Amino acid sequence: MLNKLYLLSLTAIALQTLSFDANAATSDRKSYPGSYCVEYGDTTSEAWYDSVARLRNDATGSNTFVCGAMLDHGAAKDIAVSVYDANLFSGQSVSCLALTRSQSGGTGYYTQTVSSQNGTTTLNLGSLSYKPSKGYHLIRCSVPGKYNGNRSGINSYYIREYD
């Protein structure tokens, strides 16, 4: 009797696992903190990370930050970046683009969006249809420098992949 109960419970666990995997095969969403982004093309790091893992530009001028994301499921169908723009009143804004690259360096299509309001906003970058067998997603943001002591930056980003 004990063996039958044991087998039944193992079967139930296996069925739950299989149904979970089947659901996961349709879409996959990953969220990343802004602290996963790094400064690009500057010899002096002016990235400033706060206590809740957001990235801020500590420089007086604009900097470019690159944020990587795993490509493990399919084409990126929904890409968004939460940014904080402290500089819109100075005529500058945060702008981001998304792209997918193959392991050998080939670049897929990209999409770009510019912030249009001061404060925290979400930049919806749309989707990318390029799906290499081995590769990764990138988000590249141009972040203006400090304005009246306030730092603009990247709060977080997410990518949803679909088969």
Quote the domain boundaries for residue 62: 28-162
Q: What is the pLDDT of residues 28-84, one digit of tens each?
A: 889 999 999 999 987 788 999 999 999 999 998 999 999 999 888 778 888 999 999
Q: How many domains, in total, are found in the chain?
A: 1
| 84 occurs within a structural domain | yes
Q: What is the pLDDT of residues 77-129, one digit of tens each?
A: 889 999 999 876 777 889 999 988 888 777 766 777 877 778 899 999 988 88
- The closest alpha carbon to 61, from 151, 156, 159, 154, belongs to 151
H or E, element range at 25: none
| 129 occurs within a structural domain | yes
Q: What is the pLDDT of residue 136?
A: 86
pLDDT at residue 17 greater than cutoff 60: no
| 109 occurs within a structural domain | yes
| 2 occurs within a structural domain | no
Q: Are 126 and 36 in contact (CB under 8 A)?
A: no
Find all residues with CB under 8 Å of 100, minimum gap 6, and list them: 71, 75, 76, 107, 108, 109, 128, 130, 131, 132, 135, 136, 137, 138
| 53 occurs within a structural domain | yes
| 14 occurs within a structural domain | no
CATH number at residue 127: 2.60.120.260
- How far is it, in rounded angstroms, from Cα 21 to Cα 26? 9
Q: What is the pLDDT of residue 16?
A: 39
pTM of the model: 0.78
Q: 3-state SS of the chain: helix, strand, coil percent to 5?
A: 20, 50, 30
| 38 occurs within a structural domain | yes
Q: What is the pLDDT of residues 132-149, one digit of tens each?
A: 778 888 999 999 998 888
Q: Are 30 and 69 in contact (CB under 8 A)?
A: yes
| 20 occurs within a structural domain | no
Q: Which tokens is 107 given?
A: 């670049």
